[in-house]
Structure 1
Amino acid sequence: MDQTEVIYNGACPICAREIAGYRRLSEAGGLPIRYTDLNAADLARLSLSAEDAARRLHVVQEGRLIAGFPAFLALWSSMPRMRWLARLLGLPGLRTVIGAAYERIAAPLLYALHRRRRNRALHKARPGG
């Protein structure tokens, strides 16, 4: 099995907590899954900007870059304890609804929180900020 690589935003507390759970499952099962924080990654090798990477989860599997809800399905499919979830949420009707909810609600919300945290940090780092 080729190694799966998960590109996630380690600066996002919600994202980091979720990925920590996946990492524990991966390590416990000896799964070939690598977790890469986008804030310390060479994203150019994937033709991916830091802003695009921060907007949604990305997974590299078999040389293909997968983004958004399909990335979750790819990740879950590669984890025996999560395959049931990938199968369930990958069903045509559910995949469409859950995928739309992720793309229209969850991903934009997480990205907005990321931008707010980043802007606050930049403001505090400025002299007089």
Structure 2
Amino acid sequence: MSNEIRVLYNARCPVCRAEINHYAAHTRARNLPIRFDDLNSADLAHWGISADQAARRLHVLKDGQIYSGINGFLVLWQGMPRWRALATLVALPGGRAVATAVYDRALAPALYRRHLARTARARGASAARR
């Protein structure tokens, strides 16, 4: 199996894009086998999820398995030397529980709501131009 890691993220989300751009620069500088796919242009059938599911949280594909949320971040961070220590800390039982609660209950839902608002504004602007 390939040791490539693929990350599915929302490039239209400014927060997501900034974080992924940081990771992408790190991976390029070290020639790491990590690929970043924008959910807005990726073949989501390959991922087996809908655009709405993809927009709700980070998804990572490694060795044919999809990881999402904090588990996805752990796979991504394990693949980047600079981030392995964070992955080790977050993977600890208490760390994982706290990180999952914060991500699942606060961060991911807030970013998803902002995504929906951006999408609605874009649709409204598009309709107004017609």
TM-score bracket relative to the smaller structure: over 0.9
2:66 corresponds to which residue? 65
1:32-51 aligned within 5 A: 32-51=33-52
For 2:15, give the aligned amino acid.
I
Tell me the CA shift for residue 17 of structure 1: 0.4
Aligned counterparts of 2:47 and 2:38: Cα–Cα separation in 1: 14
SS at match of 1:2: coil
Backbone CA RMSD of aligned residues = 1.2
Identify if the C-alpha distance between structure 1 residues 120 and 3 changes in structure 2 by more than 3 Å, giving closer, same or farther: same
Q: Return the alpha-carbon distance in structure 2 between the equivalents of residues 47 and 36 of structure 1.
A: 14
Distance in 2, Cα, partners of 1:92 & 1:25 = 27
Shift of 1:74: 0.6
| Structure 2 CA distance for aligned equivalents of residues 102 and 46 of structure 1 | 21
Aligned to 2:17: 16
Indicate yes or no: 2:110 matched with 1:109: yes
2:111 aligned counterpart, secondary structure: helix
The one-letter code of the counterpart of 2:111 is: L
SS of equivalent to 1:65 = strand
Aligned length: 129
CA distance in 1, matches of 2:27, 2:115: 26
CA distance in 1, matches of 2:99, 2:24: 23
Distance, in Å, in 1 between the alignment partners of 2:65 and 2:73 is 14
Write the distance in 2 (CA, Å) between the matches of 1:64 and 1:73. Answer: 13
| Structure 1 ranges of 4+ moved more than 2 A | none
SS in 1 for 2:40: helix
Please give the alpha-carbon distance, in whole angstroms, between the structure 2 residues aligned to 1:104 and 1:31.
Answer: 31
TM-score (norm 2): 0.96
Give the % identical residues: 46
What is the correspondence of 1:24-35 to structure 2 with a 5 Å cutoff? Answer: 24-35=25-36
